Chains A and B, each alone.
Chain A
Amino acid sequence: MHNAAVLSPTANMTGSETYRLSVLRDRLWRAALWFCGFIGFLLPVSIISYLVFEGIHRVSWSFLVDYPKGTPLGTQGGIWPAVEGSLALASIGLLVAFPLALGGGLYLSEYGRSQRFNETVRFLVECLAAVPSIIYGLFGYAFLVVFLKFGISLIAGGLVLALIMFPILLIAIQESLRSIDDAYREMGLSLGVTRFYLIRRVLLRKAWRGIVAGIVLAVGHAVGSAAPVLFTASIYFSKGGLGLDRPVMTLPTHLYNLVSEAISFDQAFGTALVLIAGLLIFNASATLLRRLGGGSAQ
């Protein structure tokens, strides 16, 4: 009978040649994807391992808290002024960029009723995020350092870093808010509350994880940028101490100087390791904060 042939156990359990080829193709496809995923693991682990291998012997407490010494300058001593400068620049950048990006993201996501305006702003912000950091450096130098007469200073560098952080933060905040189900808005507003109250009590709590992820990304990107601070804030050597109108040393520019002028590769690897470790610690703290915040918010 026809049905008996179709239901034959041999045909069903072993499969046809075409079927076996499909299974093989599926396995190859899965292996290829696994390899791509593995690259994502291998690359950062390799780079960090290499930096640890080359730089760990340089890193010590005195390396972190001392200022550069030796002849030429930087062959000995530590990197404290650069650590301090990088932290100060990132803090100023975040303090300036975050409120503006939060306001912009909230407006575009929650208040902007003109779709054309929202899309135009979003397009421009995305363009801003794609601008090479050296262009920011040039703009900062021409506008802040020269035109506004800020000079090479902490404030000029901090504002340029704020410019770099702003689009990244705004996109992250807007995306994070947009991903919240509209049911939250409808439900909240149908109880007669204002949009501001809904944002404060519900939407920001729901968007918290995405916002923290945006902060990590923006700070990581800005702190690692050498070019913009090279033009606006950075100085070759400092004994530490901060002032808004004074230039500062930063980790990326110090690293650039140590390598480009062949001062000390040992010190360069130590500096690079501190920079990477700092970013990893910041990232890990933000992830922890996100989990804790997310847990209580849920």
Chain B
Amino acid sequence: MIVPMEMTCSYAPEGDHEDPADGPRIFDVRDLSVTFNGRSVLRGVNAMALDRQVLAIVGPSGSGKSTLLRTMNRTLELTLDARVTSGDIHFKGERLYGNGTDPRLVRKRICMVHQKPVAFPMSIGENVLFGVRFHKNWNGRTKDEIIRSCLDRVGLWNEVKDRLSDPASRLSVGQLQRLCIARALANDPEAILMDEPCSALDPVSTARIEELILAMKPQLPIVIVTHNLAQARRISDQSLFLYDGQSLEQDTTERIFTHPKNGRVRDFITGKVG
């Protein structure tokens, strides 16, 4: 039975309300609905992400967090039978699902870091250059410069500078996740999406990724899906709470964790429901 929910999403599409925080909107998710195999997984989701801020998407398992994230760089359509049925996402004012929008260019501009870090079967250096070689995104830089700057940004340069030709599969899981972030950064993305990037990592590696997210924030908007409420609180400026495919509440992380307006959000945050 579907229980009618108290909808207290403080965010509404641009023009209707003030933003919950200052700054230009980078992502503007408007009334987005998604079906998978005909089953509704997102229903009229509204959300937004601001420039140079971290938006954390939280909520119980199966609430549609990863699905929402995957709509934000059009990787959703790589899944058979998954479809955006209504609504749209505006990225810097451009429609992501508009006619003529090339999904590959969307993915180049909005890169995604996945839950499970994956080493492509090539050297560490070539892993960094994977997207650059395809997009010919050299921008006057040599390949060594790109490798060094990207690995430096993720704090991996000093650890691997003497073995850039080694297979990437020799890295530890924590290093590999940072390599995946470096690979995404090499594309010169305008935003980064992260789908539970620390779920496979130990606490030390998790701390490093969190430091990295905070270090990248001044340059890029970041949207992160996490199950870890403490992590959302530590690193995000905005939080969006999803429940059963609906956006229940979005607000500044501080407000949502201290004064949630929605009863379900309150119960989830206080641990009354999991």
Among A188, A189, A192, A194: residue with most chain B CB under 10 A: A192
Q: Are B169 and A298 in contact (CB under 8 A)?
A: yes
Q: Are A205 and B122 in contact (CB under 8 A)?
A: yes
Main secondary structure of the interface of A (DSSP, over half): helix
Q: Are B121 and A298 in contact (CB under 8 A)?
A: yes
B73 interface residue per 8 A CB criterion: yes
Among B106, B109, B130, B180: residue with most chain A CB under 10 A: B130
Q: Are B80 and A201 in contact (CB under 8 A)?
A: no
Q: Which residues of B contact A184 (CB under 8 A)?
A: 118, 120
Contact of B78 among A189, A197, A201 (CB under 8 A): A189
Closest to A115 in B: B80
CA distance A211 to B219 in the complex (A): 44
Given A183-B116, A298-B169, check contact A191 B107 (CB 8 Å): yes
Q: Which residues of A contact B131 (CB under 8 A)?
A: 191-193
Tell me the smallest distance from the CB of B135 to a CB of chain A, in Å: 7
Interface bin, chain A: 20 to 34
Q: Are B180 and A187 in contact (CB under 8 A)?
A: yes
Q: Which residues of B contact A197 (CB under 8 A)?
A: 134
CA distance A265 to B116 in the complex (A): 61
Interface 1/0s, chain B 50-85, versus A by CB < 8 A?
000000000000000000000001010010100000
B26 interface residue per 8 A CB criterion: no
Given A190-B112, A191-B130, A191-B184, check contact A201 B120 (CB 8 Å): yes
Q: Which residues of A contact B112 (CB under 8 A)?
A: 190
Contact of B121 among A192, A193, A202 (CB under 8 A): A202
Contact of A189 among B107, B122, B187 (CB under 8 A): B107
Given A113-B80, A192-B104, A192-B135, check contact A187 B169 (CB 8 Å): no
Contact of B134 among A185, A186, A194 (CB under 8 A): A194
Tell me the smallest distance from the CB of A206 to a CB of chain B, in Å: 5
Tell me the smallest distance from the CB of B171 to a CB of chain A, in Å: 12
B7 interface residue per 8 A CB criterion: no
Tell me the smallest distance from the CB of B210 to a CB of chain A, in Å: 21
Q: Are B104 and A193 in contact (CB under 8 A)?
A: yes
- A residues 259-298 in Cβ contact with B at 8 Å: 296-298
Q: Which residues of A contact B134 (CB under 8 A)?
A: 191-194, 197
Q: Which residues of A contact B167 (CB under 8 A)?
A: 296-298
Contact of A201 among B73, B114, B122, B184 (CB under 8 A): B122
Interface 1/0s, chain A 198-237, versus B by CB < 8 A?
0001100110000000000000000000000000000000
Q: Are A188 and B122 in contact (CB under 8 A)?
A: no
CA distance A297 to B135 in the complex (A): 22
B111 interface residue per 8 A CB criterion: yes
Tell me the smallest distance from the CB of B136 to a CB of chain A, in Å: 12
Q: Are B130 and A186 in contact (CB under 8 A)?
A: no
Q: Which residues of A contact B135 (CB under 8 A)?
A: 192-193
Interface 1/0s, chain B 76-118, versus A by CB < 8 A?
0010100000000000000000000000111111011010101
Q: Which residues of A contact B130 (CB under 8 A)?
A: 188, 191, 193, 201
Closest to B170 in A: A298
CA distance A113 to B77 in the complex (A): 12
Q: Which residues of A contact B178 (CB under 8 A)?
A: none
A181 interface residue per 8 A CB criterion: yes
Q: Are B187 and A202 in contact (CB under 8 A)?
A: no
Q: Which residues of B contact A297 (CB under 8 A)?
A: 121-122, 167
CA distance A105 to B59 in the complex (A): 40
B261 interface residue per 8 A CB criterion: no
CA distance A298 to B120 in the complex (A): 8
Beyond contacts A192-B108, A206-B121: 16 other A-B pairs, Cβ-Cβ < 8 A, are A183-B116, A184-B118, A187-B118, A187-B120, A189-B75, A189-B107, A190-B75, A190-B112, A192-B131, A194-B134, A201-B120, A202-B121, A205-B122, A297-B121, A297-B122, A298-B121
The 8 closest A-B pairs by CB, nearest first: A192-B108, A192-B107, A297-B121, A191-B131, A190-B112, A205-B121, A193-B134, A192-B104
